[in-house]
Amino acid sequence: MANPVNWQREMEKTLAGLPEGARPRLLLHACCGPCSSAVLEQLRRRFDITILYYNPNIWPEAEYRRRADELAAFVARFAPEGDVKLVEDRYLPDEFYAAARGLEEEPERGARCTRCYALRLERAAEFAAQHGFDYVCTTLSISPHKDAERLNRLGMAAAERQGVRWLPGDFKKKEGYKRSLQLSSEYGLYRQDYCGCEFSARK
Ligand code: SF4
C-alpha cells in the first residue's frame, strides 16, 4: 500500500517553490475565528490573504451569525493593518440540505461530511477562479476531527475543475491545533461545541 500523503509537507514544498519576495493572492475558506487563527498566523507572511466565509451548513442562523461576527472581530484585531480581507458569502442553508439529503443520520466524519466539505470547497474554488486568486485552500484541516486526506483530495479536484491552484495543507500538524487553542484563549474567542450543522448539534 502506498504511504499516505503528508499534506503539511506538500504545503511546505509549495511555499519553498514560491518566487523570492512574491506574495501570491490566496483565497482561504474559513469556518470560524478559532480555526482561522493559527492558519492566518502561518500563512500571512507568504500570501496576500482574503478569507471566504461560506458555510451554509451552520445551524441555526444565530450560530451562523455569531461565528461570522466572531471571525470578523478576530481579523480586525489580528490584522489591524487591514492586509487580511474578509468576504462573507451567501447564506443559503438549502444548499447544504440538498447536499446532505439521505445522509442525515451519518456520524460525524462520515459521508455527510464529505458532501459538506465538497460543497464548501467547490464554492471556494469557484470564487477564487472568478476573482483571479492564485491559490485556494481551507482552514478545515486544523480540526483533529477532520481528515486532511479527504479535504485535500476534494479541494484539489474542485480547484482543478475551476481552473485555480490548490494550496495543500494539514494545519493541525506541527502543533497547529494547539496553537489555535492558545490564540483563541489569547483573543478570548468563542469556541463552539459542535461542528456546525443541526445533525451535529443534536448528537
Ligand atoms: S458534522 Fe460538520 S462537516 Fe459534517 S456535515 Fe455537519 S457541519 Fe458538515
55 close to 165: Cβ distance less than 8 angstroms: no
pLDDT score for 202: 87
pLDDT tens figures, 103-160: 999 999 999 999 999 999 999 999 999 999 999 999 999 999 999 999 999 999 999 9
Q: Whose C-alpha lies nearest to ligand 1, atom 4?
A: 113
pLDDT confidence tier of residue 69, bands split at 50, 70 and 90:
very high
Ligand 1: which of 104, 112, 194 to mutate, most ligand atoms within 8 Å of CB? 112
pLDDT tens figures, 165-179: 999 999 999 999 999
**Rounded distance, CA 158 to CA 138, Å?**
12
What sign results for the dihedral spanned by CA atoms 92, 84, 162, 103?
negative
pLDDT tens figures, 19-39: 999 999 999 999 999 999 999
Domains of the chain, CATH where assigned: 32-202 (3.40.50)
pTM here is 0.97
pLDDT tens figures, 44-62: 999 999 999 999 999 999 9
pLDDT score for 164: 98
Find out whether the beta carbon of 113 lies less than 6 Å from any atom of ligand 1: yes
pLDDT score for 1: 61
